[in-house]
Amino acid sequence: MPNKTGSKRVRPSADIPAMPEEESGSTAPESSPHPQESITVPLPVPEAAAVDYGVLDSLRAGQASVAEATQKFVQKLGEYLSAALDDATSLEVRTYISEDISGVTYEKGAFGGNARLRAMTRVNIDGDSLVCIPETDGELDTAVWTIHLDMVRQAQESRSELMRTMVSAAANLANVFTPKA
C-alpha cells in the first residue's frame, strides 16, 4: 500500500517486527529510526550444459588416441597373423654341425661359415614331407638323426600351439569388432 509520498512501502528490518496494515491501520513513518534493508535477488545461473570449460575436449582427444592405438594394434596383429599363416603352410627343420662354433655365421635364415648342414626335413601343411637324412661312411648317423627328429617334433608342437593361438586371437577379435544387436 502506498504511503503519503506515493512510494511503495518496504518492510522494516528483522529486529523490528512488521505489523500487518489491517491491524494497525497506519503506514510506517517515512523517517524510521532503523534503516531499511534492501533485499537482493540473485540472477538465475545458466544451465551447466551451456558452460564449456574444455573438459570434453580432453576426453575427446583421449578417446581419439585410444581409437588410433587400437587401430594400429589390430593392423599390426593382422600383419603378424598373415605372416604366421604364410609361414605355417610348411615346416622346415635344418640341423647343422660345426667343429668350431665360433666360426659359424647366420644370415638370411641360414647358418654359414664353417657350419655344415647334416639333416633337413620339410613338412607341408597337407602332410607331405621331404627328408634328407645324414650318413657317415654309408651308414645313418644316428646321433645327428636323433637330435634332428627331436627338433622336428618340437617344431610341430610349436606350430600346433601357434595355430591354436592364431585361431583364438582371430575369434576374439571377431567378437570385439562385431556389432552387437
Model confidence pLDDT, tens digit, residues 129-163: 899 888 888 888 899 999 999 999 998 888 888 88
Task: Please give the helix or strand (H or E) that residue 79 lies within, else none.
Answer: helix 55-88
pTM of the predicted protein model: 0.48
Q: Residue 54: how many CA atoms within 13 Å on its side-chain side?
A: 0
pLDDT tens column, 114-125: 999 999 999 888
Q: What's the confidence (pLDDT) of residue 31?
A: 53
Task: List Cα–Cα distances, 50 to 25, 46, 73, 118, in angstroms.
Answer: 51, 7, 37, 78
Residues of the chain where predicted confidence (pLDDT) is lower than 50: 23-26, 28
In the DSSP assignment, the letter for residue 96 is: E
Q: What's the confidence (pLDDT) of residue 147?
A: 93
Give the gyration radius of the chain's Cα atoms.
45
Q: What's the confidence (pLDDT) of residue 159?
A: 84
Task: Parse the chain into domains and list their residue ranges.
Answer: 54-88, 89-157
Strand partners, 106: 111
Could you give the CA distance from residue 174 to residue 168 in angstroms, rounded to a whole number?
10
CA angle 163, 169, 173 (to 5 degrees): 145
Q: What's the confidence (pLDDT) of residue 89?
A: 78
